[in-house]
Each structure stands twice: as C-alpha cells, then as structure tokens.
C-alpha cells in the first residue's frame, strides 16, 4: 500500500533573487534551493537549455497570491538594472580605451547599447512593481542609461570611421534620445487614449440618458400625475424616478458635503415613508452642509409629509451673507398658539434649534392662506 506524497502547489514566492523560479520549484519538489540552482546552471551549459527552461517557468508559473495584496508586487534582492548598467559602463570603458579597433569597438558598442536598453526595459517592466524600488529609482536608471547610450554613440562616431560603426553609432544615439523621450510620449498617449475612452463613454451615457428620459422617466412622471401625489402608486413611481435620475446624472449631482445635496437626500428618504412628493430647488452658490439648518429643514419637511402630504416645495436660497430655506405645503395649516404644550416638534426641533444656532425660524400660513410656510434664516457662517 503506497502513501501519496502531498506537495505544495507550484508557485513563485514574492521575495526572490531574480524571478523566484528556483525557489518555487524547490518548494514544490521538496529539494534544497541550492541544488535547484546548480541544476539550472548546469543545464544552461548545454546549449542554453537551462536559460530557456528558467524563462519558460518564469512566464508560466504564477506568483503566490497569499503573500501580497498587489498581484504584481515582487521584492527582488538583486538590483538587476544597476548590475546591467555596470556591465554597460565596462563596455563603455572598453570602447573609450580602444576607439580605433573595429574588432573591439563594434562588439563593445553593441553590448553597451543592448545592456543599457535592457536596464531601462527591466526598470519599466519589473522595478515599478517592486515596493523597495521607488519612482526616483526608475528615473535614475533611465537617466544613466540615456547618458551611456549617448556617450557610446558619440564615441563610436568620433572614433575610427567605418560604415558599420557610423550606422550603429547613429542608432545608439537615437536610442538614447528615445529612452529620454519615450516615457513622456507613452504618458501622453495613455492620457489621449483615456480621454478618448472617457469621451466615448460620456456620449454613450448621454444617449442612454436621453432615451430613458424620453421613455421611462416620462412614463413614471405620467403615473405620478395620474395617480396623485398622495397615492401609493405615485410614491413608488417617484422613488423609482429619483433612483433612475440619480444613476443617470450622478456626475451632475452636487457633492456630498453640500447643503442642497443633504436636503435632496432627506427629501428622498421621507418620500419612501410617506405619500408625499417633495421638490427641492436650490439657487445661489453651493454651501457646505450646516448641521442645525439641515436638521431643522428635515424636521419641517417631515412635518409637512406627516400632516399635509401631497405636494411639498423646498426652496434653498444662498445670498451674500445669508442662507434661507423655505418649506411650503398645501395642507390645512397650523396655528402655533393652539398647539398643545407637549407638541415640541416645531417649537424645539425647528424654532429652538435655529435660535440656538443663531438664526431664526418663522412659521406662517402659505399663499392665500392655504397650507403652511416655514422660513429658516441663518447668517452665512463663511462671512
């Protein structure tokens, strides 16, 4: 009877020397990591098979998903880009020391260009996901690589002239300039594509909004008008209309820390509980939410919904130095002198609250003596 050997899944760790392939294979097979590295080096001596195997596993073996929140985050102990730049510096030194030997200049020039380009590519592809490599690290790598490319190309052009060296030198100089310009070009291209995508999305959103406005929103408005503001059907239609409008025009709505936005949110919540339709209109500059004024306005809207129902109008006006809120209903009206002493909703929650905040609250009959109008006035605290 045989016993199955449980192996850990083949995953590359996120703290590695280079790619984490040897560490992942060693953990999966239960081998010492040193033996795995020796095997890869030995295979590399046979026609580069070890290098191809390493690159193949690097591309296919996934990273351990439990070691970091960012799926691309890897911490490498070997600073690959600086090592490649050091190799390019050595090739550059050889190029400067032997500027007239074609047999040395050409290979040194190719090595300097290839290794400098590889350093930039490594920095852009891998180091930007490494939390131990800050953004300044990548800028320094690209700057040094650009200097090496420009210097090596200049040395090749100023050294012993030959057609091959001239072509390679010009190509290296162009590559050095490209390394400097490429990040900016890529950034501009990305911004352009993002702007185009946003514009297309906004056009599609506008078409959808127009279609829904001409069909669904008008149907919901017709249901409310036919059913009456106090009916259950109208209340449901009003809630659906408000929800759809908020979804369609969410970018056009006021910011969260805004008094008009708070009044609209309070009106929407009241409409869900009472058979009432509350219209909120705001004029003037946008002002931040003021707790006392917002609470008193909500209490006035709540009283209108409870005792009047139907149509309720809320008008917010901000003028230089003052903020006014008017809440009007078409109910039977209210007489403060005849209210029982234990009815504190208007006296304390509205009038008392505004008085304590340094403002005023006036309750009076509406136009032509119909309904009730609550006028809240507060000096603008910004002044």
Q: How far apart are the first and last CA of the chain?
A: 88
pLDDT of residue 316: 92
The length of the chain in residues reads 383
Higher pLDDT, 222 or 62: 62
CATH 1.10.3210.10 given to domain 256-379: no
Q: Which residue has the tokens 């109910």?
A: 331
Q: What is the pLDDT of residues 124-179, one digit of tens each?
A: 778 777 777 777 887 888 888 888 777 777 776 666 556 666 676 677 677 777 76
Cα separation, 34 vs 37, in Å, equals: 5
* Minimum mean pLDDT range among 26-35, 112-121, 248-257, 327-336: 248-257
Across 85-99, 250-264, 299-313, least confident range: 250-264
Domain ranges (residues) in the chain: 1-64, 256-379
- Enter the tokens of residue 28: 């999966």
Is the whole-model pTM more than 0.75?
no
Q: Do 270 and 278 contact (CB within 8 A), yes or no?
A: yes
Lowest mean pLDDT among 267-276, 311-320, 333-342: 333-342
Most confident of 184-198, 252-266, 313-327: 313-327
CA distance 345 to 336: 11
């Amino acid at each position: 009877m045989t016993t199955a050997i449980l192996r850990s899944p083949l995953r590359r760790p996120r703290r590695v020397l280079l790619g984490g392939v040897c560490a992942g294979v060693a953990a999966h097979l239960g081998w010492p990591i040193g033996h795995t590295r020796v095997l890869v080096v030995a295979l590399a001596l046979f026609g580069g098979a070890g290098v191809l195997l390493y690159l193949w596993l690097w591309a296919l073996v996934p990273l351990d998903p439990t070691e970091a929140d960012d799926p691309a985050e890897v911490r490498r102990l070997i600073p690959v880009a600086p090592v490649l730049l050091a190799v390019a510096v050595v090739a550059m030194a050889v190029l400067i020391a032997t500027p007239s030997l074609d047999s040395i200049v050409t290979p040194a020039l190719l090595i300097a260009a290839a290794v400098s380009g590889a350093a930039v590519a490594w920095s852009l592809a891998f180091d930007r996901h490494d939390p131990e490599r800050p953004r300044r690290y990548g800028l320094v790598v690209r700057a040094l690589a650009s200097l090496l490319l420009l210097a090596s190309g200049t040395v090749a052009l100023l050294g012993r002239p030959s057609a091959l060296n001239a072509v390679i030198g010009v190509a290296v100089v162009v590559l050095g300039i490209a390394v400097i310009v490429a990040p900016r070009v890529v950034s501009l291209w990305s911004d352009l594509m993002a702007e185009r995508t946003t514009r297309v999305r906004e056009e599609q959103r506008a078409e959808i909004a127009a279609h829904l406005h001409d069909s669904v929103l008008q149907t919901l408005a017709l249901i409310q008008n036919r059913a009456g503001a106090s009916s259950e059907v109208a209340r449901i239609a009003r809630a659906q209309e408000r929800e759809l409008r908020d979804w369609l025009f969410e970018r056009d709505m006021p910011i969260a820390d805004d008094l008009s936005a708070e009044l609209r949110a309070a009106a929407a919540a009241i409409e869900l509980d009472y058979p009432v339709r509350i219209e909120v209109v705001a004029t003037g500059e946008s002002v931040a939410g003021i707790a006392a004024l917002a609470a008193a306005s909500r209490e006035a809207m709540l009283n209108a919904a409870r005792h009047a129902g139907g149509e309720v109008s809320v008008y917010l006006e901000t003028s230089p130095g003052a903020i006014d809120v008017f809440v009007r209903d078409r109910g039977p009206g209210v007489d403060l002198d005849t209210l029982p002493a234990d009815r504190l909703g208007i006296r304390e929650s509205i009038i008392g609250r505004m008085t304590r905040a340094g403002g005023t609250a006036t309750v009076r009959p509406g136009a032509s003596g119909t309904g009730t109008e609550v006028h809240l006035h507060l000096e603008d605290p910004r002044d």
